[in-house]
Amino acid sequence: MKKVYLFCNAGMSTSLVASKMQELANQYQLPIEVEAFSDSKMATIVEEKHPDVILLGPQVKYKYEETKKKYEPQGIPVAVINLEDYGNVDGERILKKAIKILKEQAE
């Protein structure tokens, strides 16, 4: 089971995106777990649950470089969710991006 974790300020709108992504993963029987968390809990969540991909909500895009420096050396890729996809709650496009990142990681 691959873990794709989304982080944003409060986690409210990101929870909606995560649930759409999880619905699609379930529908296509993909072994992917999608969850959303507040960025303030990132260090604890990463340490306890070991995600395979970290996706940042557009509102915490400013944390991208810092997050990337911290977690990519541990083998956890970090990306920022596209603002338009996020605004449209386009779970399919965001899930496809996460899957692409997972595939690149596996190569």
Tokens describing residue 68: 């990337």
β-sheet with 53-56: strand ranges across: 32-38, 2-8, 53-56, 78-80
Query: Any catalytic annotation for residue 8?
Result: yes
Quote the CA–CA distance of 67 and 4 in Å, as a whole number: 15
Residue 82: other Cβ atoms inside 10 A: 14
Of these residues, 4, 5, 7, 8, which one is catalytic?
8
Which residues are tagged catalytic? 8
